Amino acid sequence: MYDHILVPYDGSDEARKGAEHGIELAAALDATVHALYVIDLPGTPRALALRDDEEEMREEYRDYGEEVLANLGTVAEEHGVDYETHFKTGAPSEKIVEFAEGEGMDAIVLGSAFRGKLGNLLGGTTDKVVRTSSIPVISQRMSVNDI
């Protein structure tokens, strides 16, 4: 049913909650986890002064992404799950959906932050992915106790 599960991961607490659920699901289904880190450079379009150090900033984001995906890979290994890492650059929700659809993922599993009753009106990355993806999306929401 689900052979390839996309787990977008940025190292945040809510992403970790979703990633752990995705890894547990993959272990139960003998599926492969495809962890995706999206490099989201701030301030687009950026001022000319920032453009000078864009490559350095991109490298720092990439290094951080490699670190958090390696840590998540350890969790996947502990669960006996096949694990692959991927990187994209751009708007996270767009790149997550684009990757899932383009690479034939069977499901997307991601965390959702607890933002309180009013925060839900604004919508975050998870909300945008749910609204735009043709791939099934499973979201693991943080509760007030998780904060």
| Bridge partners (DSSP) listed for residue 58 | none
Query: How many whole angstroms separate alpha carbon 29 and alpha carbon 33?
Result: 11
List the chain domain ranges: 4-141
pLDDT of residue 57 exceeding 90: no
Predicted local distance difference test score (pLDDT) of residue 124: 84
Render pLDDT for 23-42 as a digit per residue (tens, 0 to 9): 999 999 999 999 999 998 76
Higher pLDDT, 141 or 31: 31
Nearest one of 84, 86, 103, 80 to 30, comparing CA atoms? 80
Tell me the CATH class for 4-141: alpha beta
Average the pLDDT over each of 11-25, 52-66, 99-113 and give the range with the smallest value.
52-66
- pTM score, whole prediction: 0.86
Pull the structure tokens for residue 117.
Answer: 């009753």
Place of tokens 């009013």: 118
105, 34 contact by CB (below 8 A): yes
pLDDT digits (tens, 9 = 90+) for 98-125: 999 999 999 999 988 655 554 444 458 8
Residue 71 main-chain phi, psi, to 5 deg: -60, -40
Q: Residue 67 and residue 129: Cα distance in Å, rounded? A: 24
User: Of 7, 142, 1, whose CA–CA distance to 69 is shortest?
Assistant: 7
